[in-house]
C-alpha cells in the first residue's frame, strides 16, 4: 500500500518523546527523545535476521512496526498509532519532524489513531487491553520454571552437559520444572529428528530427565532450513522462493545463508506435524520455537496466502501437534503472534557483556535486552507471559546484579542458563530465590 500521511502533531521538540515498537523479538524497541533517531541495524544481514526484512530502516526519525506512540511533551495527551488488525497486517509507522515543532506520521497500511492519557506506558497498556478484548484472549497460563542450556554451552552442548545440570539441580534442590535443551542437539537446521554427534538419543535422554522428576523442553527453529540439510536436498519445493526462483534469503548465521520453510505447502506442514508430534510423544512438553520471523518473510510460496497468514498457519500446526505442551516464541514477529503463544521473548539475547559488541541494539548484551524488554513490559499478562531472556548470574557476567534485577522486575518467565556448578554463593542464592518466587500476573496495571 502507498505511503500516506495520516497526522501532523504539534510537539514541544525538546521534551517530546517517541515510542517505537520493533518487528520481532530481537528488534530494538524503546522510548527516545523526539530529536533523536531510532536504533538501526549494523549491516544488511542484521537487517534480515534481527529487524524487518522488507522495511527500509535507514533515514531520519522513527519507525514503529505496527505500533508507535508520541508524548508531545507539552502536557497534552499521548497519541498512539497502531495497526488496525495487528495479527493480519503490520504497517510500518514512520514519525519524522516536518517543521520545527511538527511531527509527521506516515503509514503504509491501516492504522488507528488514539489519544490516551499522559504517559506512554499507560497508553500502550490501554491499547493492549483493547486488543485482548477484541480477540477475547484468555489469561495466559502460568509458566513453569526452566533451566536452559544456551547461555553457557551455546551450540557445543552435549548430552553429558545436560545430565550434569539435571544432577546439579537435584543436588542443589533448585525449583526447576523444565530442563530445556537448546540449539546444538540437531544434525542440521531442518533435520530436527536427526542428531548431532554430541547426542545419542533424544528420546532416551527425555526419558531419563522425566525419571529424575523434571519435565523436558526443546529448542527448534521450525521455519529455518540449512542449505546443507537433508530437508533442503530432499524437498527443495518446500522452500520459500526469492524473485529469481532460487530459495529466498532468510538470514545468515552459523556461517551459512539460511532458507525458509514454506508453510503453505501441505507436505511441509505435514513434516512440521511429524517433528513436533514425535517430540511430544517422547514426553517433551515445553517448546521454544526460534527464528520464527523466517515463517513470515516475503517470497514465493506454494499457496496464495499472505506471509503473515502463512506464519500463523505454521505456528497453529505446531500448537496442534504439541497438545497441551507449553509454547514459547523467540525471534518472533510480535504483533502477528498475538493469541498463539503461552510465552514470548520480548528482547534480544542477554549475554555476559553489558554492551552489544558493535553497538547494534539487536545484539546480545545486558543493556539491549533490558531496554527492549522494558519497552514491551505492557505485553506481559495480556498477550502472553513475557520472557525477558534467561537469568545468567555466574561471576563473569558483567553487571549481573542489574541483569537479575531486570529479570525480577519483569515478573515473567524465569529460566536459569548458567552451568549450575559454576555459580558462586551469590549467584546460587539469586537463582534459587528468583526461580522460587511466584510471578505476579501483571507487570503494568
Residues with catalytic roles: 290, 349
CA distance 402 to 346: 18
- Grid cell 501532523 — which residue? 8
The rounded distance, in Å, linking the Cα atoms of 35 and 15 is 9
Report, in Å, the least distance between residue 389 CB and ligand 9PG. Answer: 7
- The cell for 191 is 533435520
Residue 278 burial (10 A CB sphere; 0-12, 13-18, 19+) = middle
Give min distance, CB of 174 to ligand 9PG, in A: 20
Sign of the Cα torsion 39, 345, 349, 271 reads: negative
> Are the C-beta atoms of 260 and 201 separated by less than 8 Å?
no
Nearest approach in angstroms of CB 370 to ligand 9PG is 15
Residue with smaller CB distance to ligand 9PG, 81 or 147:
147
Q: Nearest approach, Cβ of 290 to ligand 9PG (angstroms)?
A: 5
Burial of 2 (0-12, 13-18, 19+ CB in 10 A): exposed
Cell of 275: 517433528
Residue with Cβ nearer ligand 9PG (43 or 281): 43
Cβ(198)–Cβ(187) below 8 Å? no
> How far apart, in whole angstroms, are the C-alpha atoms of residue 342 and residue 140?
6
The span from the CA of 124 to the CA of 36, in Å, is 21
Residue nearest to ligand 9PG (CB): 183
Nearer to ligand 9PG, 331 or 388 (CB): 331
Residue (80 or 189) nearer to ligand 9PG, CB: 189
In angstroms, the CA 63 to CA 196 distance is 41
**Closer of 19 and 26 to ligand 9PG (Cβ):** 26
Please state the closest distance from residue 363 (CB atom) to ligand 9PG, in A.
6
Q: What is the DSSP-derived secondary structure letter of residue 169? A: H
| Least distance in angstroms from the C-beta of 324 to ligand 9PG | 23
Q: Strand 326-329 to strand 343-345: parallel, antiparallel, or no bridges (unpaired)?
A: parallel
> Which spans of this chain sit near ligand 9PG (rule: CB under 6 A)?
26, 49-50, 150, 182-183, 219, 253, 290, 330-331, 349
Amino acid at each position: 500500500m502507498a505511503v500516506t500521511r495520516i497526522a501532523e502533531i504539534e510537539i514541544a521538540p525538546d521534551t517530546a518523546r517517541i515510542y517505537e515498537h520493533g518487528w520481532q523479538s530481537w528488534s530494538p524497541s524503546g522510548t527516545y527523545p523526539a530529536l533523536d533517531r531510532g536504533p538501526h541495524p549494523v549491516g544488511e544481514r542484521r537487517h534480515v535476521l534481527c529487524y524487518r526484512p522488507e522495511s527500509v530502516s535507514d533515514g531520519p526519525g522513527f519507525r514503529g512496526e505496527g505500533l508507535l506512540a508520541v508524548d508531545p511533551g507539552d502536557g497534552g495527551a499521548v497519541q498512539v498509532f497502531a495497526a488496525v488488525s495487528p495479527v493480519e497486517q503490520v504497517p510500518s509507522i514512520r514519525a519524522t519532524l516536518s517543521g520545527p515543532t511538527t511531527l509527521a506520521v506516515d503509514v503504509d497500511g491501516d492504522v488507528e489513531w488514539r489519544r490516551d492519557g499522559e504517559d506512554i506506558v499507560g497508553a500502550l497498556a490501554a491499547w493492549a487491553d483493547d486488543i485482548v478484548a477484541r480477540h477475547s484472549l484468555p489469561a495466559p497460563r502460568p509458566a513453569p520454571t526452566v533451566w536452559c542450556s544456551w547461555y553457557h554451552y551455546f551450540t557445543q552442548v552435549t548430552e553429558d552437559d545436560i545430565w550434569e545440570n539435571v544432577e546439579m539441580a537435584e543436588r542443589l534442590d533448585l525449583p526447576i520444572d523444565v530442563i530445556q535443551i537448546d540449539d546444538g542437539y540437531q544434525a542440521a537446521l531442518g533435520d530436527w529428528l536427526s542428531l548431532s554427534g554430541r547426542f545419542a538419543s533424544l528420546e532416551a535422554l527425555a526419558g531419563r530427565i522425566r525419571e529424575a522428576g523434571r519435565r523436558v523442553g526443546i529448542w527448534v527453529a521450525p521455519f529455518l532450513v540449512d542449505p546443507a540439510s537433508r530437508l533442503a536436498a530432499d524437498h527443495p519445493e518446500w522452500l520459500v522462493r526469492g524473485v529469481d526462483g532460487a530459495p529466498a534469503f532468510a538470514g545468515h548465521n552459523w556461517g551459512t545463508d539460511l532458507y525458509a520453510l514454506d508453510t503453505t505447502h501441505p507436505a511441509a506442514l505435514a513434516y512440521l506435524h511429524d517433528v513436533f508430534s514425535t517430540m511430544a510423544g517422547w514426553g517433551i512438553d515445553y517448546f521454544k520455537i526460534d527464528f520464527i520471523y523466517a515463517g513470515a518473510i516475503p517470497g514465493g510460496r506454494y499457496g496464495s496466502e499472505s506471509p503473515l497468514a502463512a506464519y500463523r498457519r505454521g505456528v497453529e500446526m505446531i500448537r496442534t501437534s504439541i497438545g497441551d505442551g507449553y509454547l514459547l516464541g523467540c525471534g518472533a514477529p510480535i504483533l502477528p503472534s498475538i493469541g498463539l503463544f503461552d510465552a514470548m521473548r520480548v528482547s534480544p539475547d542477554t549475554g555476559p557483556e553489558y554492551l552489544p559488541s558493535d553497538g547494534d541494539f539487536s545484539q546480545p548484551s545486558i543493556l539491549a535486552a533490558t531496554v527492549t524488554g522494558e519497552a514491551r513490559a505492557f505485553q506481559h499478562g495480556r498477550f502472553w507471559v513475557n520472557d525477558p531472556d534467561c537469568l545468567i548470574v555466574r561471576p563473569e557476567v558483567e553487571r549481573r546484579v542489574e541483569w537479575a534485577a531486570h529479570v525480577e522486575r519483569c515478573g515473567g518467565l524465569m529460566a536459569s542458563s548458567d552451568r549450575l556448578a559454576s555459580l558462586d554463593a551469590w549467584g546460587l542464592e539469586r537463582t534459587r530465590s528468583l526461580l522460587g518466587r511466584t510471578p505476579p500476573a501483571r507487570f503494568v496495571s
